[in-house]
Amino acid sequence: MTYLEESKQQLEALQKKENIRILAIETSCDETAAAIIENGRKIISSVVYSQIDMHALYGGVVPEIASRAHVEKVNRMVDEALKQADMQLADVDAIACTYGPGLVGALLIGVSCAKALAFAAHKPLIPVNHIEGHICANFLTHEALQPPFACLVVSGGHSHLFQVEDYGQYRIIGCTQDDAAGEAFDKAARVLNIPYPGGPLLDKLAETGDANALKLPRPHTEGKYDYSFSGLKTAFINAVHNMRQKNIDFSDADLAASFRKAVVDMLADKAMQAAKDLKLNCMVLAGGVSANSLLRREMQARCDKMGIPLYMPKLSLCGDNAAMIGSAAYFRLKKGQIADLTLNAKPALRL
Ligand code: KG4
Ligand code: ZN
């Protein structure tokens, strides 16, 4: 019997099993992570090794360094996730991994590791889209959350507005035409000499500043629900350089607060407009930038005003982790979406 035939047989049995436990691996960027998730909703164990310190020196993620660190850490993360769950590899029902989008060399480490484990332990292999993983972080945070809902996914590589019609069923409503929101935060932070990744520290600094100190443009986009952050980022960087050249005294906190407000306004305006126009009466946030304190407050205020519920991942699940991949994998498994050993990394995978 081939590996795939065996997996399909197991899949049939798993469709009837009450508690399904999936071992998930995430290596799409600069976090090496593994987790064990039960029925897409419960975290049995979750471990994340962050490579940030290695990349901070270079002001951004260096793909070769990321791949090497994943190779060195991935097996240890898997062992740790199993140990914390008090389980053996034989006890898990399936193996999942992120296969895109992300850095090709980084993705390949997780995909290769998952394939080897799945083959050796005779377990089905489930490929997961990283963006879908971010959305599913909410299923781990909010037990009762169910589609349909609108979802704003904002991270270092993506800014998307989705209509989540059902589990695993997405309709894209809008997306960024240039930089992602997280990328814009990181680049704005860099001009304020905040080390990579600057988003979280810029957010903290902004809490003490005046958001009306610096007037920034609100760029126009063709698509009604599309985003554009490149012009805003350039306007901000130019304004800072200008003030420095002219020796104008300014407060970093005021600048950070002004930039953060401009990004959050844009994100919130379009997300709420889409919810209103398309009559989507439930709003969800996802991705690294969903940890932004102003975005969380602003979206809460606007959703309260519109009378719709807002769901956000808990802070520990906003950034990259494997728990969210294990959640997404469960819903894929339920639909019979498994892979064979020809699975490859897809750096430009879309949802
Ligand atoms: O989802 P994520 O961990 O990785 C990607 O899939 O890209 O997102 C990382 C991004 C980085 O750009 C980081 O600066 C940003 O999320 N980020 C934040 C905050 N926390 C993380 N941006 C603004 N405010 C935050 N509090
Ligand atoms: Zn991510």
Reply yes or no on whether the pLDDT at 122 is more than 90: yes
The candidate with the shortest Cα–Cα distance to 330, out of 44, 28, 4, 27, is: 44
Which residue, by CA, sits nearest to atom 8 of ligand 1? 288
Question: Residue 133 CA: which ligand is closest?
Answer: 2
Q: Which atom of ligand 1 is nearest to the CA of 131?
A: 6
**339 lies in some domain:** no
Is the CB of 287 within 6 Å of ligand 1? yes
Segment 49-67 mean pLDDT = 94
| Number of domains within the chain | 2
Question: Residue 199 CA: which ligand is closest?
Answer: 1
**297 lies in some domain:** yes
Which residue, by CA, sits nearest to atom 1 of ligand 1? 288
Is the CB of 30 within 6 Å of ligand 1? no
Are the CB atoms for 294 and 185 separated by under 8 Å? Answer: no
Q: Residue 13 Cα, ligand 2 centroid: separation in angstroms?
A: 32
Same domain, 93 and 208: no
**299 lies in some domain:** yes
Same domain, 294 and 308: yes
Same domain, 167 and 265: yes
**340 lies in some domain:** no
Same domain, 14 and 93: yes
Sheet bearing 31-38, strands edge to edge: 42-50, 31-38, 21-26, 94-100, 125-129
Give the tens place of pLDDT for each residue, 132-179.
Answer: 999 999 999 999 999 999 999 999 999 999 999 999 999 999 999 999
Is the CB of 197 within 6 Å of ligand 1? yes
Segment 239-244 mean pLDDT = 96
Q: What percent of the chain has pLDDT over 70?
A: 100
Question: Residue 56 CA: which ligand is closest?
Answer: 1
Q: What is the pLDDT of residue 55?
A: 93
Q: Residue 339 Cα, ligand 1 centroid: separation in angstroms?
A: 30
Question: Residue 293 CA: which ligand is closest?
Answer: 1
**349 lies in some domain:** no
Is the CB of 40 within 6 Å of ligand 1? no
Query: How confident is the prediction for the chain on average, in pLDDT?
Result: 97
To 5 degrees, how large is the angle CA 123–CA 21–CA 346? 60
Reply yes or no on whether the pLDDT at 218 is more than 90: no
Pocket mutation for ligand 1, best pick of 130, 153, 185, 315 (most atoms within 8 Å of C-beta): 185
Are the CB atoms for 279 and 145 separated by under 8 Å? Answer: no
Same domain, 154 and 301: yes
Is the CB of 168 within 6 Å of ligand 1? no
Q: Residue 49 Cα, ligand 1 centroid: separation in angstroms?
A: 16
Confidence of residue 125 (pLDDT cuts 50, 70, 90): very high
Same domain, 157 and 64: no
Range of the domain at 200: 144-314
Reply yes or no on whether the pLDDT at 346 is more than 90: yes
Q: Residue 336 Cα, ligand 2 centroid: separation in angstroms?
A: 25
**351 lies in some domain:** no
**344 lies in some domain:** no
- Which tokens sit at 329? 């994998």
Same domain, 151 and 284: yes
**214 lies in some domain:** yes
Reply yes or no on whether the pLDDT at 290 is more than 90: yes
Q: Residue 99 Cα, ligand 2 centroid: separation in angstroms?
A: 12
Q: Which atom of ligand 1 is nearest to the CA of 180?
A: 12
Same domain, 167 and 290: yes
Same domain, 190 and 252: yes
Q: Which atom of ligand 1 is nearest to the CA of 198?
A: 14
Is the CB of 133 within 6 Å of ligand 1? no
Q: What is the pLDDT of residue 220?
A: 87
Same domain, 119 and 198: no
Confidence of residue 219 (pLDDT cuts 50, 70, 90): confident
Q: Residue 229 Cα, ligand 1 centroid: separation in angstroms?
A: 15
Reply yes or no on whether the pLDDT at 296 is more than 90: yes
Same domain, 157 and 282: yes
Segment 225-240 mean pLDDT = 96
Same domain, 127 and 165: no
Give the tens place of pLDDT for each residue, 21-38.
Answer: 999 999 999 999 999 999
Reply yes or no on whether the pLDDT at 191 is more than 90: yes
Segment 328-334 mean pLDDT = 98
Q: What is the CATH number of the domain that holds 291?
A: 3.30.420.40
Segment 50-74 mean pLDDT = 95
